[in-house]
Amino acid sequence: MKTALITGGLGFIGYHLSRRLIAEGFRVVALDNLQRGRIDTDLDLLQRDSRYELLIADLLADDIPAAIGRDVAYVFHLAAIVGVKNVVGHPYRVLRENALTLMRVLDWSRQQPNLQRVIFSSTSEIYAGTLEAFGLPIPTPEATPLTVTGLERPRTTYMLSKLHGEALCQHSGLPFTIVRPHNVYGPRMGMAHAVPELLRRADEAEPDGELIVCSPQHRRTFCYITDATELIVRLAVAPAACRMTFNIGANVEEISILDLADRIAKTVGKMLRLVPGSDTEGSATRRKPDLTRAIQASGYVPQVSLGDGLKWTWDWYRIAIAEAQVIADVSA
């Protein structure tokens, strides 16, 4: 049984990745500092599996626990300061801590005799500067030249921390795979994201009420969490994916945020008047990844339609909202 370490293991992607790896036959060690991740009823069920272990530790303050052992084959580094509010409010901390935690993980991984791969979670935000300055090819391939947005902007720090992280992986001397998630959604992702936020406001609206939609004409493709984790796991173990960078996302059903809100209102069961709001500062006007490289290396094509994904997400959230189990934000 191979062991996988997931930093940020209590977050949205970390939780679902844990489930997918256990189903694949891995022993999973989830490491989290509990600053934004959380322990809930979903995690309680996961902890009943003997192949899952949760360790609470701070990658900045603590040594990586010796209890993990020295037989870790795969390291999934998801831990980071994320979320627009956190990034805008603490830009220096983003630059410092996202770099330091990755460096500590890379140094620790170098001591693992059975290491097969480090998987670093980057971001689709890495393309933001190129889009703003020069425009992007759509769908956007991984080989697109990267440009940094203004260094004086707080939001730049998140993208820059991930760009720095990609460079650290490239020059670490370790076997690595870099993934750039694009608009991944699904159950247990907190509320500070477009899909759950619109679900909540649609749920709270009067049956014939209105729904204000920010960035209404911005366009996205949305990737359901099971498709994202399937791609990540397959790429992690694929020999062809070693020392490579991959988009993670969906390449079909591109939709405006206004149209997304309409579909969400119908998913909730209401006919709401959609009111276009202002554009969110720093939000990309369009985001659609080219998945050619990821599909070729993994042998997997995302399968979940947006309609099914929204329904399954709402099925989870309507219960979680009723039971007051959803918090304002959960780390990715």
Cβ proximity of 225 and 184 under 8 Å = yes
Tell whether the model's pLDDT for residue 275 goes beyond 70: yes
Pick the CATH number of 3-184+224-250+285-303 from 3.40.190.10, 3.40.50.300, 3.20.20.70, 3.40.50.720: 3.40.50.720
pLDDT number for residue 36 = 75
What is the widest separation between alpha-carbon atoms in the chain? Answer: 62
Does residue 326 carry a pLDDT above 70?
no
Query: pLDDT tens digit string along 299-313?
Result: 999 999 999 999 999
pLDDT tens figures, 142-164: 999 999 999 999 999 999 999 99
- The CA distance from 80 to 177, in Å, is 17
Whether the Cβ atoms of residue 302 and residue 289 lie closer than 8 Å to each other: no
Using CA atoms, how far apart are residues 299 and 235, in angstroms rounded to an integer? 9
pLDDT in tens, 248-257: 999 999 999 9
252, 301 Cβ separation under 8 angstroms: no
Q: Where are the domains of the chain?
A: 3-184+224-250+285-303
The mean pLDDT value of the chain amounts to 93
Query: Is 50 exceeded by the pLDDT of residue 60?
Result: yes
User: Residue 70's pLDDT band (boundaries 50, 70, 90)?
Assistant: confident
Who has greater pLDDT, 128 or 86?
A: 128
DSSP letter (8 states) at residue 125: G
Q: Tell me the C-alpha distance between 146 and 148, whole Å.
A: 7
Which pLDDT belongs to residue 324? 58
Res 330: pLDDT? 44
Give the pLDDT confidence of 91-134 residue by residue, as tens digits. Answer: 999 999 999 999 999 999 999 999 999 999 999 999 999 999 99
pTM over 0.85: yes
